[in-house]
Amino acid sequence: MRIRRLYGDLTGRAHHRILDALDAQLRAVIEGVEVVGRMTTGELSPADARSAMADVEHDGDALRAALVGELAVALTTPIDREDLYRLSRSIDDVLDNLRDLVRETDLYDAKPEPADIETLAMVSNGLGLLRQAIGSLLRRPSEVTLSTLAVRKCAGRVRQQYQAAVAELFRLPVSIELLKRRELLRRLDVVGLRLGECADALSDAMLKRSH
């Protein structure tokens, strides 16, 4: 078994398995964004979105566990092992906060806001760029830094949209609905922050690799 593992590391198969596991984890998060989007447009009720998100989260947890398993047995990794773990954890944090957004919308009996579609699109774009960066890691490492910068810009745009939406809220009279909206906007903001942490993890890993 160890000889097969060593052969896999020497031929690069282990590196591909690790990056494929990361990519699969990202695809699950993108699916989570899609569930939130369907709730936001009214295609799914918050209760139905919560049920759908539970399935997505289950898949995401299984994929993260698979990646951790690969890291545990791999003799070499495409980037620093700790940075891979940190990146995977940050990806999982994005999904966890999307789950909480759906759960809180349901718990608060809040009305989804169609204006959030723009923010969700920015999150989805950032996740797609992160997939692109990971896909470039082995054959086109010079492109990874540019992609991670683009991910960071998406995360920054989410923060700007959050700030603009809160500024609009502060022009309205205080009400229960306003307070619900404020909480859900904050959750969207945290999704953006976690997306930024994904970019930071990969950027730090590439910096170490260059030394």
Mean pLDDT of 55-79: 91
pLDDT digits (tens, 9 = 90+) for 193-208: 999 999 999 999 888 8
How many CB atoms sit inside 10 A of residue 17's CB? Answer: 16
Considering only residues 42 and 139, tell me which one the structure prediction assigns the higher pLDDT. Answer: 42
Q: 45-68: string of b/e by CB count within 10 Å (b at 16+)?
A: ebeebbebbeebbebbeebbebbe
Which of 194, 40, 185 shows the shortest CA–CA distance to 130? 194
Q: What percent of the chain has pLDDT over 90?
A: 77
Tell me, what CATH number does 186's domain have? 1.20.58.220
Angle between helices 81-107 and 176-210 (to 10 degrees): 170
pLDDT digits (tens, 9 = 90+) for 159-195: 999 999 999 999 999 999 999 999 999 999 999 999 9
For residue 119, which amino acid is it? Answer: T
Per-residue model confidence (pLDDT) at position 211: 56
Per-residue model confidence (pLDDT) at position 21: 92
Mean pLDDT of 146-170: 96
Per-residue model confidence (pLDDT) at position 4: 52
Dihedral pair phi/psi, residue 4, rounded to 5° = -60, -40
Tokens of residue 6, six digits: 């060593």
Which of 58, 162, 89 shows the shortest CA–CA distance to 120? 162
Check whether 210 has a pLDDT greater than 80.
no
Q: Which domain holds residue 181?
A: 2-210
| Residue 28 near residue 95, CB atoms below 8 Å | yes
How far is the C-alpha of 63 from the C-alpha of 66, rounded, in Å? 5
Check whether 145 has a pLDDT greater than 60.
yes
How far is the C-alpha of 82 from the C-alpha of 11, rounded, in Å? 22
Considering only residues 112 and 140, tell me which one the structure prediction assigns the higher pLDDT. Answer: 112
pLDDT band at 3, cuts 50/70/90? very low
Mean pLDDT of 104-130: 96
The model's pTM: 0.91
pLDDT band at 60, cuts 50/70/90? very high
Total domains, the chain:
1
Tokens of residue 190, six digits: 């945290």
